Amino acid sequence: MFSLQGKTAVVTGGGSGIGKAIAGLFARQGAFVVVADLNAAAADEMVNTIQAESGRAMALPVNVADQAALKEAIAGVVAKIGRIDILVNSAGISHIGKLDTTSESDFDRIVQVNIKGVYNAMYAAIGHMKEQGGGVILNVASVAATLGLSDRFAYSMSKGAVVSMTLSVAKDYIKDNIRCNCISPARVHTAFVDGFLARNYPGQEKEMFDKLSKTQPIGRMGKPDEIGALALYLCSDEAAFVTGSDYPIDGGFVRLNT
C-alpha cells in the first residue's frame, strides 16, 4: 500500500521542514522526487540524502513567487521526465503581527510566497496534468486558516486563501481526473521553530517551546514525518476517492481547545 513507484512528485519547499520530510518519504515509497526550493544548497543536500538511500531525485532551485521562472522549471521537468503525477505545495513563510503592526511590505511578501507561490505552482502544473490524464495536488495550509490566532493576521489570511484555492481547483478539474486537497497542521517542530525561539526569546527557548507545545491538547508539537505520512496517503492511489478536502493534523488543536 501507498506505493509511489513510477510516479514523479514535485515538492516545493522540499529542502527544509515539512517539505523535506514529504520529499524524503515520497522517495522512500518509490517516487522520483523533484526538490524545488529557493535555497539551492538545501535542495542539493536533500537530493544527496535521497540518493544516498538509493532513491531518485533532482534539485530544482526556483523562486515560487516568480511565475515565469516556475513555469519554465516545471516545463523542464516534464521535458526531462515525461510527466508530473504529484505536486505538493509546501513552500511558505511566516509572519508575526496584528493588522496595525503588519506593514504593506510584509503583507505583500506573504502574498507573493504563500498565496501567489501556490497559485504559480498549480498554474504551471495543471496543463501538464490535464494532458497526461490526471494528477494529484496537495497544498499545505494551516489551522490558522480557520481559527483566530493572535498576532498572525497576514499569515492566517494567506492560509485561508490556500484552502479556498484548493476547493476551487478540486471543483474545476475533477473531470480531468485531477484531485486537489490540503492539510492544515498545527505547530510542527522544525528547524524554523528553533530559529524563531532563538531570535525572539533568547535564554527562554525551553520555556517558550514548552508553552507552544502545550497549546496542542495532545501536549506536544507535531513531527514533520507525521505530516509526511498524511501527505503520502492523500497523494497515493489509496486516496483516489478523496478530493476537495482540508485535513487538520493538529493534536486536537481545532476541535479540543476550549
Catalytic machinery residues: 155
CA atoms lying within 13 Å on the CB side of residue 147: 19
Contacts 24+ apart (CB under 8 A), 100-104: 101/151, 102/153, 102/154
Measured CA to CA, the distance from residue 41 to residue 54 in angstroms comes to: 20
Q: Find, among 133, 139, 27, 14, the residue nearest to 85 by Cα.
A: 133
Cell of 202: 533568547
The DSSP output letter for 89 is E
Q: Find, among 226, 142, 218, the residue nearest to 189 by Cα.
A: 226
The DSSP output letter for 97 is B
The three-state secondary structure class of 181 is strand
Cell of 220: 506536544
Query: Could you tell me whether strands 32-37 and 246-249 are parallel, antiparallel, or unpaired per DSSP bridges?
Result: unpaired
Number of H helices, E strands in the chain: 10, 7
Cell of 145: 486558516
DSSP helix, strand, coil percent of the chain (3-state; round to 5): 55, 15, 30
> Residue 13 — φ and ψ, nearest 5°?
70, 25
